[in-house]
Each structure stands twice: as C-alpha cells, then as structure tokens.
Amino acid sequence: MAPQPSRRRFVAIAAGAAAWTKAARSMRAESVASRAASADRLKIGVASYSMREFPLDQALDMARALHVSSMTFKDVHVPRTDPPEATRALRAKIEAAGITIMGGGTITIRNDETQIAREFEYARNAGFPLIFISPEPAALDAIERAAKRYDIKAAIHNHGPEDKWWPRPQDAYAAVKGRDARLGVCIDIGHTLRTGTDPVQACRECRTRLYDMHVKDLAVATDERSETEVGRGVIDIPALFRTLLDIGYSGQVGLEYEINPKSPLPGMIESLAYMRGVLAAVATARLTTR
C-alpha cells in the first residue's frame, strides 16, 4: 500500500489544487478581457529570483507551468561570470523556451568604468534590453555613457529603508529625470511601502521613467518578514493596475516571490492568479466606462 501523505502535505496539495483552479478561471477571464481590449494589457511576468533555488532548466519548466511568457533574470540563472559564448547559449535556451527576456539584475554597480563596461557587455550577450541596478550615486555619469553606447536601459531599483542610496523610487527618479532617457526606475512595491510611501503614488510620480516593476505583498506595511502571497496583504493591487494602465506603462509587472524559496510554485500560482484576475476585472471596468 502506498504511503499516505502527512496532513500538512495533504493541506499543501489541496491548496495548490485550489489555486490552480483559481488560476485557470482567472486566465480565462483575462483572455476574454484582452480579446475585447488588447490595448489594456499589462505584461504580467516573473522575476527569476523567485526560483533562485532551482537551476535554469527547472525555472523555465516552472514558467511554463505558470503560463508565463516574459521574465527578468537573476545571475543565479544567467551567471555574470560566464564567458560571452556561454551567456549567449543561455539566452538562446531561454528564447527557445518561448520566454521573452525583459531584463536582468539586480546588479550592484560601483563607480568603476571597467565594471560598468563589463556589466553592459554581459547584458548585451544575455539579450537584456534593460538592467535593474543598485548603483553608487557617483557612478551615474559612467552608467549614462554606457547606456547610450550599448543602447540598453538602466533602471535604479529601490530597496527600502535599509538602502542608503535609493530607499524610495522617488529618490532614484530625482537622480535620473534630467539624464538620458535610457536611465530610469525599477519600482519594488514592497520595499516602497516599507518606507511609508504609497506605491501607487510612486508610479504616478515616476511614470516618465518607470521601466520595470517587482510585485510582492506584505501583511504588515513596515515588516519585510511579513511578505505573503499577492492579494493577501495590504497593498492595493487593483489601484496599482489601474494606475499602470492609466499611465501607459509598458514594462513587465514582474512577480518577485521571495518566500518559500524551496517550494515557491503554490504561492506563485496563487499570486499570479490574483494578479491576472485583477487585471481582467480592471480592464473590463475600463471598457464599460469608455
């Protein structure tokens, strides 16, 4: 007789099955809304950091299971230390899996011309149209020159109260708004909330340079350890999506699921189902009010 799963395992399986059902319904709703208003689409994707405990092949398998077609990549999956030909081979593998590469990072950048050139060369080989970065402020002149030379966007990622340079998106925006248009902002809505800043308002204020987004949710606005599945926390995701549509945001709305790293799929399924369902509802509501 086959061994029976523990109660905890049974609950996890049941939760996963329920989330899959919810996901399927949300995907059907999204399909209806997107056929009716293809312009009201946001690129809901995934940051590969969510699958950081798994090799690239398994991360791509997870992306297929999640019905995801766009991703940004952490260097755990596309190593920055690989030779150029290896990086290009990984790019080909990702593209062959049907994934649109939206960018990569986060990359910490010092005020070092050699490092900056190396990071942009890496991005070009990896097929990244954008890198999200945590740069030393003094490095911005050199980053701007490199962004122009390689024609690759560089978006500063805010990291919350602990970040001495870029705690809020507005801090990054103030540093780039007068520079070349390839320099912009990657808003992490969880880190933004922890600074006491409304992520929705941050999107409006930074809209002209908002190039990437990391989505997560928090049960307690000030506590990074309270991250939970998207839709279970305190962030107003419907208001966020309405705002992104209002401002014509064209970057990825990337789920960055940082909890349960050894078993992220159930929580990612639930989070993406909620995000897709919200998008369908918001897009449909926009249609009815036009």
Instruction: State the SS3 of 212-230.
Output: EEEECEECCCCCHHHEECC
Instruction: Kindly state the DSSP code that residue 11 receives in the 8-state scheme.
Output: H
Give the pLDDT of residue 41.
83
Give the pLDDT of residue 33.
43
> What is the C-alpha to C-alpha distance for residues 153 and 129, in angstroms, rounded to an integer?
6
Give the pLDDT of residue 7.
40
Give the pLDDT of residue 36.
40
Task: State how far Cα 95 lies from the chain centre.
Answer: 18
> What is the C-alpha to C-alpha distance for residues 72 and 131, in angstroms, rounded to an integer?
9
Confidence (pTM):
0.85
Give the pLDDT of residue 26.
52
The DSSP-derived string for 84-152 is HHHHHHHHHHHHHTT-EEEEEEEEEE-S-HHHHHHHHHHHHHHT-SEEEEEE-GGGHHHHHHHHHHHT-
> What is the C-alpha to C-alpha distance for residues 113 and 144, in angstroms, rounded to an integer?
11
How far, CA to CA in Å, does 188 sit from each of 101, 145, 218?
19, 25, 12
Give the pLDDT of residue 15.
45
Give the pLDDT of residue 121.
98
Nearest CA-CA partner of 20 in 12, 9, 31, 8:
12
> What is the C-alpha to C-alpha distance for residues 88 and 96, in angstroms, rounded to an integer?
12
Give the pLDDT of residue 28.
52
277, 31 in Cβ contact below 8 A? no
What structural domains does the chain harbor? 8-288 (3.20.20.150)
pLDDT by position in tens, the chain (length 290): 433 334 443 334 344 444 444 545 555 544 544 444 444 589 999 999 999 999 999 999 999 999 999 999 999 999 999 999 999 999 999 999 999 999 999 999 999 999 999 999 999 999 999 999 999 999 999 999 999 999 999 999 999 999 999 999 999 999 999 999 999 999 999 999 999 999 999 999 999 999 999 999 999 999 999 999 999 999 999 999 999 999 999 999 999 999 999 999 999 999 999 999 999 999 999 887 76
